[in-house]
Amino acid sequence: MFENDTIIETRHLNIYYGDFKAVTDVELKIPAKRITAIIGPSGCGKSTLLRAFNRMNELIPGSHIDGEIIFEGKNLYDRDVDPVEVRYRIGMVFQRPNPFPKSIYENVAWAARIHGYKGSLDELVESTLKKAALWDEVKDILKQSALSLSGGQQQRLCVARALAIQPEVILMDEPASALDPIATLKIEELMQSLKENYTIVIVTHNMQQAARASDYTAMMMLTDGTRSGTVIEFDETNKIFTRPRDKRTEDYVTGRFG
Amino acid sequence: MKFNSIDPKNSFADNLSARTRSGKTWQLMFLLATIVAIITLTLLMINIINSVFGYAIIDSKVDPATLAVDGISIEEQSKEQLVELLRANLSKGAFNKMENEKSFTDRSWSEVLSVVEERLLKFDVLKTWNLWDSLFKRTDVTQEYTAILEENPNAQLKFISWLTWERVVRPQSSEPLTAGIRTAILGSLWTIVITIIFAFPIGVGAAVYLEEYAGKNWVNRVIQTNINNLAGVPSIIYGILGLAIFVRTLEPLTSGSLLGFVDPTTANGRTVLSAGLTLGLLVLPLIIINSQEAIRSVPQSLRHAGYGLGATKWQITWAHVLPNALPGILTGTILAISRAIGETAPLVVVGASTAISFDPTSPFSKFTTLPIQIYQWTARPQPEWQHLAGAAILVLLVLLLSLNAAAIIARNKLSRKF
Amino acid sequence: MFEQTVSTENNNGFPKKIDGLKKKRRWSEFIIQMSLFLAGFFSIFTTLGIVYTLGKEALLFFKRPEVDLIEFLTGTQWQPHIAEFGILPLASATLLTTAIAMLIAIPLGLTVAIFLSEYATLKMRNTLKPILELLAGIPTIVYGYFALTFVTPILRDIFGKDVVNIYNTSSAGLVMGILILPLIASVSEDALTAVPRSLREAAYGLGATKNEVVFKVVLPAALSGISAAVILGISRAIGETMIVAVAAGAGPNLTLNPFKGAETMTGHIVRISSGDLSYDSIDYDSIFAIGLVLFLSTLILNIISQWIVRRFREVYE
Ligand SMILES: Nc1ncnc2c1ncn2[C@@H]1O[C@H](COP(=O)(O)OP(=O)(O)OP(=O)(O)O)[C@@H](O)[C@H]1O
Ligand SMILES: [Mg+2]
């Protein structure tokens, strides 16, 4: 379908909260080393789908899935798969910045330490913060509490924290929704610089952001007559925004929705 | 009908102001009730202060000056001199008996001094007054003193404080003037240390289990309900449990004999260890419930951050949840511990000693604690013991107050930053 | 169309990521989880221990030839030295002190709760609540001392020394009321503050005064929560020991005269277990029988109270 390799593929994916089916029959191929945006109206299951990719959903009591999510040829939900291992490989950045109430240094170093990193932590922290374009701002205050940073800096620190353990995929759930426009721009620049080495999947409410920052876009929508969401269209971003095939997508991206 | 003659608008207005007035009265009532609570607290404190200071008429069978050696009063003599004094003035049998109880070389200076005062000077408290009477009924005091002087020429009228530093550091004794509370304070400390060592890890562990690990199944529901119920079990029931389990069933362990440790003063399980474990069981539900609350208040987003990095549950709990819950856990534990320090009933049942004058030296020592001491002194009919009980209460309250202050400081110093 | 994209340069310094995401055996994790479970389960042992020891020793007590269950429950004398084991004098003293305590604690506690939740300014609340907490944190032996050395003399001054004994249930009961006041106040206050704002606003919207809102809307709505508080207070009073041990009197005495001394169940246990109690004596066994009665009655009260609170929560949450 696309010229790129696929890194995550979902097959007949349904996601439930207890008896409630929040996401129905999603078939999606996330291309490697690209930025894929998931857009759609509130409550259509974007976050639910995203969290399913690294098995964060199962932390919510009662939630379960059927269908498959294939990551590097392996179904993530097979019995012998370790969810902890999955999250080590597929990292996550959340909607609200949630740095640990520890030093900036410790925020970046902690996960590397628990995963048995053998190299020099100082170097890792420095190179990671540089990758996250945060180094210049924090290099003199590494020992300070992460909570003393601004919201935008905190969010970039959260990206750095995820980068430090070198995952293959980074999932971002509306990472900029709590930030001002300048901080938002910085996050978008950061995403662009990361896509050489990482696959990024981002949920966003911001159409401009999706159009600007992503290579591919998945459009989600509640299926008619139910409260269950599904992916109605998935394509290269410029096609979604200029020549959508689905009428509902067109209405949504042009702001005529609802 | 009269109805028609009333202007409806007016009647509403009247009614309203009456209603508002009754509102004011009620508000006053509520304020009064609250003031009652405050007054009680004040009276309680005043009552204690009142009994700790005041006049006392003290008689001694021997004039202290006769015991002075080379003009050095007994308070200034060395321990060895005091022992010699005892050897010279006591019968051989009595001296040896005491030497056997605890050798004089092992006794501290203050311990020996209290023996001298007890056995040689034989002070006797003839009459005491509380602070109020001492201040405002001076004539009664002097009248009574002159009356007593006729029969007891050695009697002295002194304004004394029943709480002195001396008293805090002196061992227990059967003489009200020399009795101190060191034995009881040390007993309380030993007991509480064992309580903490026992209850803190289990309590926090249980709280972590219930908050972080337990799924929603019937086993965990039973555990939680059970803990809530245990928190409401009367403390004396824990005493009965401790008596049956720790003192009796586990006697080889709690008396120390299983470990080859035999304290000559104890041959049974009525030890510091049994007391500490009993109080441990008592405060366990409180520690668990308080810690659960602290753990619950750690934001979920921190746990998610940890999971998103591929950390395991324990790694997250240890590195993020516990440190952030720590202020709450510590505060809750300190409150639970202050409850344990003030407990009396369970320890009476477990078998606190009625009279020991030796410091506890191991978990297998016999014990008494501060509240037990207060209870025993309060229960004695002679008024001088009640003054002493007041003094011990003051020490207990100061101890508890500083613990509570520590809890508040812990909460503020370590308090969470989000 | 899938290709393994595990890049080797990604693993710099990290232990090689396992292909296929196979489950790791995390033994330490497992051991820790088991220990935590045991810590959680420990309190079950406490309960079992209480039930077992009380049950076993009480059974021994009832098996003794001089004891009879019917007599235990209905006998009007508790005189171990003449083999009379009727719990009524002890139970009646417990009920008497409890009743006196509740006479103080319910009206005062409720009033304080209403004041705190409905009338007090924030500043007042912030000074009053710590005072109540302080009151609740004072060891009960101190209250006992207060009863004996302060309240009893006052009662004797008021009613006459020949009417009021030195040891009497009224002094113990009154002070116990003060002890329980903070408990009733704080649980009732929780119940009052849990009454939804919308309910109050609706009443205010109809032109009700503050008092009318409090008495006709908030109090009725919080009634079950308040009754839970009262039941909890009763349970606490029944189990209270040191105040009665110090001030209510030593020696079982079947009387309803609050100025006479009488020994409660808890007071009796404390008195006979002071000193070295011999394990084979009937006294030793008897404290377990009394303890069982105490345990069961407080447990039932606590369960009722919790049940009410749960029902109450369901209504508003
Ligand atoms: N923890 C949960 N338990 C039960 N249902 C949930 C839970 N989280 C989400 N849902 C339900 O699943 C559906 C999808 O929710 P989700 O949060 O994935 O939507 P979303 O597209 O991310 O919305 P938004 O744009 O507002 O973030 C909604 O109907 C929601 O009510
Ligand atoms: Mg969402």
Span C193-219, mean pLDDT? 86
Q: How confident is the model at residue A131 (pLDDT cuts 50, 70, 90)?
A: confident
Helix C282-316 × helix C27-63 angle, to 10°: 130
Can you give the pLDDT at residue B324? 92
Q: What are phi and psi of C73, to 5 degrees?
A: -80, -25
Chain C residues in contact with A71 by the CB 8 A cut-off are 21
Q: What is the mean pLDDT of residues A53-67?
A: 91
**Within 10 A of C270 (CB to CB), how many other CB atoms are there?**
26
Contact C221, C121 (CB under 8 A): no
Ligand 1 atom with least separation from CA of A51: 18
Checking ipTM against 0.95, whether it exceeds it is: no
Contact between chains at B308 and A92 (C-beta distance less than 8 A): yes
Which chain B residues are Cβ-neighbours of C211 within 8 angstroms?
Answer: 19, 22-23, 26
Tokens at residue A37, please? 């945006």
Report the residue of chain B nearest C232, measured CA to CA: B232
* Whether C15 and A116 lie within 8 Å, measured CB to CB: yes
Q: In chain A, what residues touch C11 (CB-CB under 8 Å)?
A: 166
Q: Is A17 in the pocket of ligand 1 (CB under 6 A)?
A: yes
- Picking from A74, A114, A199 by the largest number of C CB atoms within 10 A of its own CB, the best residue to mutate is A74
Q: Is the CB of A26 under 6 A from ligand 1?
A: no
Confidence check: pLDDT of C2 > 50: no
Domain boundaries, chain B: 52-161, 183-417
Evaluate: CB of A31 within 6 angstroms of ligand 1.
no
pLDDT higher than 60, residue A257: no
Determine the distance separating the centroid of ligand 1 and the alpha carbon of A239, expressed in angstroms: 27
Judged against a pLDDT cut of 70, whether residue C10 lies above it is answered with no
Which residue out of A15, A26, A38, A46 has the highest number of ligand 1 atoms within 8 Å of its CB and is therefore the one to mutate? A46
Q: What is the phi/psi pair of residue A34, to 5°?
A: -135, 170
Considering CB atoms only, which of B27, B222, B232 is closest to C302? B232
Q: Structural domain boundaries of chain A?
A: 3-97+165-253
Q: Which neighbouring-strand residues pair with A202?
A: A37, A172
State the pLDDT at residue B191: 95
The pLDDT-based confidence of A108 (bands split at 50, 70, 90) is very high
Q: Which residues in chain C have Cβ-Cβ distances shorter than 8 Å to B339?
A: 137
**H-helix or E-strand containing A217?**
strand A216-222
Q: In terms of pLDDT, which residue wins out, A179 or C288?
A: C288
pTM of the model as a whole: 0.88
Q: Are A125 and C18 in contact (CB under 8 A)?
A: no
Q: How far apart are the CA of A251 and the centre of ligand 2, in A?
A: 21
Using the atom order of ligand 1, give the atom closest to the CA of residue A229.
Answer: 14
C81 touches chain A (CB under 8 A): no
Q: In CATH, what number does A3-97+165-253 get?
A: 3.40.50.300
The sheet that has B156-161: what strands, in order across it?
A: B123-128, B53-60, B156-161
Chain A interface with C: residues with Cβ < 8 Å: 5-7, 9, 32, 70-74, 76, 80-82, 84-86, 88-89, 112, 115-119, 124, 165-166, 168
| Fold classified for C69-312 | MetI-like fold (1.10.3720)
A23, A47, A223: residue to mutate for ligand 1 pocket, most atoms within 8 A of CB: A47
Interface test with C, best of B133, B243, B281 (most C CBs within 10 A): B243
Residue of B nearest to C286 (CA): B240
| pLDDT for res B5 | 46
Residues 115-154 on C with a CB inside 8 Å of B are 115-116, 119-120, 128, 131-132, 134-135, 137-146, 148-150
Q: State the pLDDT at residue A258.
A: 45
In this prediction, residue B263 carries a pLDDT of 61
Contact between chains at C6 and A168 (C-beta distance less than 8 A)? yes
Q: Do B229 and C26 touch (CB under 8 A)?
A: no
Q: Is domain B183-417 classified as CATH 1.10.3720.10?
A: yes
Per-residue pLDDT tens for A3-43? 558 899 999 999 999 999 999 999 999 999 999 999 999 99
Q: Which chains touch B (3 or more CB pairs under 8 A)?
A: A, C
Work out the pLDDT band at C9, boundaries 50, 70, 90: very low
Q: How far is the CA of A232 from the centre of ligand 1 (A)?
A: 18
Contacts of B305 in chain A (CB under 8 A): 94, 98-100, 158, 161
* Mean pLDDT score of chain C: 87
Q: What is the mean pLDDT of residues A171-184?
A: 88
Contacts of B312 in chain A (CB under 8 A): 84
pLDDT band at C74 (very low <50, low <70, confident <90, very high): confident
Give me the residue from C35, C143, C210 closest to B205, CB to CB: C35
**pLDDT tens digits, one per residue of C130-140:** 888 888 889 99
Looking from the CA of residue A46, the nearest atom of ligand 1 is 21
Q: Is A44 in the pocket of ligand 1 (CB under 6 A)?
A: yes
Instruction: Determine the distance separating the centroid of ligand 2 and the alpha carbon of A132, expressed in angstroms.
Output: 24
d(CA B250, CA B55): 49
Angle at A22 between CA A17 and CA A23, to 5 degrees: 125
| Contacts across the B-C interface (CB distance below 8 Å) | 248
Q: Which residue is listed with tokens 């196979």?
A: C22
| CA-wise closest residue to C11 among B267, A168, B62 | A168
Tens of each residue's pLDDT in chain B, 418 residues: 344 444 545 555 556 666 666 667 777 777 787 788 788 889 999 999 999 998 888 887 777 677 777 777 777 788 888 888 888 888 888 888 878 777 888 887 877 877 787 777 777 888 888 888 888 888 888 888 888 888 877 788 888 888 888 888 888 877 788 788 988 999 999 999 999 999 999 999 999 999 999 988 899 999 999 999 999 999 999 999 999 999 988 988 888 877 777 665 555 888 899 999 999 999 999 999 999 999 999 999 999 999 999 999 999 999 999 999 998 999 899 989 999 999 999 999 998 877 777 888 888 888 899 999 999 999 888 888 999 999 999 999 999 988 888 887 877 777 655 4
Which residues are bridge partners to B396 per DSSP? none
pLDDT at C18 over 60: no
Give the mean pLDDT of C72-88. 86
Residues 223-262 of C with CB under 8 A from B: 232, 235-236, 238-242, 245-246
Interface probe, candidates C28, C36, C60, chain B, greatest B C-beta count within 10 A: C36
Using the mean position of ligand 1's atoms as its centre, give its distance from the Cα of residue A44 in Å.
7
pLDDT for the residue C6: 41
Residue B303 is predicted with a pLDDT of 95
How are beta strands A169-173 and C78-79 bridged, if at all?
Answer: unpaired
Which residue out of A14, A17, A222 has the highest number of ligand 1 atoms within 8 Å of its CB and is therefore the one to mutate? A17
- For chain C positions 3-42, those within 8 Å of chain A (CB to CB) are 3-7, 10-15, 17-18, 20-24
Q: Please name which ligand lies nearest the alpha carbon of A21.
A: 1
Best-predicted range by mean pLDDT (B111-125, C110-124, C228-242)? C228-242
Q: Is A64 in the pocket of ligand 1 (CB under 6 A)?
A: no
Query: A103: which DSSP letter?
Result: B
